[in-house]
Amino acid sequence: MGGLVVRQLLVNHIRDKDVIEKVPFIYFFASPTTGNPMAYLGTVITDNEQFYRMRTDAVDMTALEGAWRKARLPIQSYCAYEGLGYLGGKLIVEKESAIHLCSDHVVQILKDHSEIVKPAHERDRPHLEFRNAYKNVLVKERIKNAQSILARAASELDEQAKISYRLAVDELEATLRMLNVAFDHDEWLEVIRNVADAELGLVRLAKGRQER
């Protein structure tokens, strides 16, 4: 349910750059993006308005999805869905609802709804998945900034420097492709090395221009 609150908050602040720019990504853990059939049961046993608003046929759910799609916010969204049932072996949030509107990596976590965001230790799957998403977002931002600087500098380079520039851009593009699968430790270290090499090349190009 927290994921629904976050989406609504961002939609409500769509024109507030101070808010939007502080949210490069969101990780949704078993969020009922399309509503939840179990909310119908909740409306039978309680008068809590939140259950009514989370029903799959609720106007609020349809309106939130429409507003989110229309907003086209520059925010990456990662999603995890439950791999274990809770009561009677039943999933609280079905996979289709949990991954709906997700723009990036999707993963199943073998925990039930009550435990999926309660990592027992730093090597527990929920923590690892969130950490990897965080790393990926940071690296992508560094690569984006480096590409922008390289592009602006390209027109000022001589022929030899342009070759170095092209190699640096190729390295960055290769790193971007690797990010699509870079979720284990060894691949992550390779990504870091590639980015570091590309950034070093950028520094050398800048230094060469200053010396001339």
pLDDT digits 0-9 by tens, 162-183: 676 677 667 666 666 666 554 4
Q: What is the pLDDT of residue 108?
A: 94
Contact 102, 69 (CB under 8 A): no
Q: Extract the tokens encoding 165.
A: 């520039």
Coil, strand or helix at 13: coil
**What's the pTM value of the predicted model, to 2 decimals?**
0.68
Query: What is the rounded CA–CA span in Å between residue 155 and residue 43?
Result: 64
pLDDT digits 0-9 by tens, 199-209: 666 666 656 65
For 15-124, where are the alpha helices, taking DSSP H only? 17-20, 39-45, 49-53, 59-71, 95-99
Q: Which residue has the tokens 């949704």?
A: 28
pLDDT digits 0-9 by tens, 37-81: 777 677 777 777 777 677 777 777 888 888 889 988 888 899 999
Query: What is the rounded CA–CA span in Å between residue 204 and residue 207?
Result: 5
